Amino acid sequence: MGKSEIKAVMMGCVVILLIVALLHVPAQKAGAETLVETSIFFRIAAAYSVDQKAAQEWLPAPWKAVSIKLTTRTL
């Protein structure tokens, strides 16, 4: 074995030892973080009554104005 091969083997061993040492370090949680609420269902709808042709002229080229009929339900 030449000097360069021995050096490469030693560096490999050092890297492996560092990885093993890092795996044994415990991960600490942030103490100030408190989960208050979690949800992925947030939706806001805003509806306006405008002329559909005027709305289409205002929108950029690939977008299209669409009429929707909103119904309200009472519980």
Domain limits of the chain?
47-75
pTM score: 0.34
Task: Supply the pLDDT for residue 29.
Answer: 63
How does pLDDT run along the chain (75 residues), one tens digit per residue? 688 888 888 888 899 988 888 887 776 666 666 777 777 776 666 677 788 888 888 888 888 888 777 666 655
How many Cβ atoms from other residues are within 10 Å of residue 74's Cβ?
A: 3
Task: Supply the pLDDT for residue 73.
Answer: 63
Residues 6 or more apart whose CB falls under 8 angstroms from that of 68 comprise: 47
Rounded to whole angstroms, the Cα distance separating 21 from 15 reads 10
